[in-house]
Amino acid sequence: AGASYLDSDLRVTGSLAIPETGVTIDYTIDQSNKDPWAGVLGANWDINGRWSIQAEYNGFFGSRDSIIASVGWRF
């Protein structure tokens, strides 16, 4: 259990040409996360010496929400 902090600001600029019209649309998109903090709960289970499973849920508080999961195999 814990907390995750992400403070992200992103700006995307570009233009889009509409085919067969000669019209071009210029655009700018500013994106940032609403809440930098989010609660995290995760677990890892070593099934045996070769296999393990990991999972993490991020989003108990704040506006961010994500799930991460993986299966590991050691050789």
| 18 has a pLDDT exceeding 80 | yes
The pTM of the full predicted model, rounded to 2 decimals, is: 0.58
Q: How far apart are CA 66 and CA 12, in angstroms?
A: 23
Residue whose C-alpha is closest to residue 44's, from 69, 7, 13, 18: 69
| 62 has a pLDDT exceeding 80 | no
Region 24-44: what's the mean pLDDT? 92
Residues 6+ apart with CB under 8 A from 65: 38, 58, 59
| 3 has a pLDDT exceeding 80 | yes
